[in-house]
Amino acid sequence: MNSVKWFIRILLMFFLSHFSFAADTITLDHFIQDNNDEVIVSAGNIFALGFFSPATSTTNRYVGIWYYQIPVKTVIWVANRDNPINDASGILRIDARGNLALFQGNQTLPVWSTNISTAGSGNSFAQILDSGNLVLLQNDTGKELLWQSFGHPTNTWLSHMKIGFNLRTGLNQTYTSWKSPDDPGVGNYTFRMNPGVSPQMVLYKGSVPVWRSGTWTGKMWSGIPEMAQNFLFNDTFVDTDDELSFSSDTISASLITRYEY
């Protein structure tokens, strides 16, 4: 009888350690399926990644990131925002090329993918971090960053995210509103960095600017005088040959902030 108890105890420890390791990652061997209501959760239980339907929608399914411990589901990023799946057959996994990819049922072409040509032969894994960033990493000792959701924002700006351009890679970090509470597709409002002699952040409705930040004074944006009383954020403006960007990060990880467009 004692040997049976020990076997059950060892088996339980194995499963607990296995699921603890896999809780925040998607690998070649661990994927998530919509019909099993599966999610992965960041190490500190801050954010979750999984399938959801927005607001009153009952058919359209999306892959998104939301706050894990807030009762009202608050989505901060959507993968397939303009390409919903109309049933619960979605599977999010690492494909043969090493990309994180979303498939519908038995289809061979992905609905959405990180689409990184250098990922290579499935030797990668995806991880959801406590910052809300979904990262695709090379599965080796160096853990090279291949792709990150912070580089491809949707409608929400979190601490440690940027607005602007990587002039070396061509990456443009722009924020766009949802079409409606039922539809996370690209909406009518866009918040972006306008380059030029005096760069500034501009909010557009369609092609019409409705708000400007003013120019950077060295400490704040001239059109946001409230920044002079800032005690909660570390603000950084970068204007180099390689990058034009602005970030506003909380001074403490215990502070939860988000800007939604």
Question: Residue 243 forms beta bridges with which residues?
Answer: 166
pTM: 0.88
The span from the CA of 255 to the CA of 87, in Å, is 37
pLDDT band at residue 255 under the 50/70/90 scheme? confident
The span from the CA of 134 to the CA of 37, in Å, is 19
Residue 17 identity: S
| pLDDT at residue 197 in the model | 87
| pLDDT at residue 39 in the model | 96
pLDDT, tens digit (0-9, with 9 covering 90-100), for 179-227: 999 999 999 999 999 998 899 999 999 999 999 999 999 999 999 999 9
Low-confidence winner among 17-26, 61-70, 135-144, 214-223 (lowest mean pLDDT): 17-26
pLDDT band at residue 118 under the 50/70/90 scheme? low
Cβ distance 80 to 65 under 8 Å?
A: no
Asked if the model's pLDDT at residue 3 lies above 60, the reply is: no
What burial class does residue 47 get, using C-beta atoms within 10 Å of its C-beta: 0-12 exposed, 13-18 middle, 19+ buried?
A: buried
What burial class does residue 81 get, using C-beta atoms within 10 Å of its C-beta: 0-12 exposed, 13-18 middle, 19+ buried?
A: buried
Six token digits for residue 159: 């601490």
Six token digits for residue 227: 């920044």
What burial class does residue 184 get, using C-beta atoms within 10 Å of its C-beta: 0-12 exposed, 13-18 middle, 19+ buried?
A: buried
- What is the phi-psi region of residue 212: left when phi exceeds 0, alpha when psi lies from -120 to 50, beta otherwise? beta
| pLDDT at residue 45 in the model | 95
User: What's the angle, vertex CA 259, arms to CA 255 and CA 240, rounded to 5?
Assistant: 95
Pick the closest to residue 239 from 198, 188, 208, 185 (CA basis).
Answer: 198
Cβ distance 94 to 113 under 8 Å?
A: no
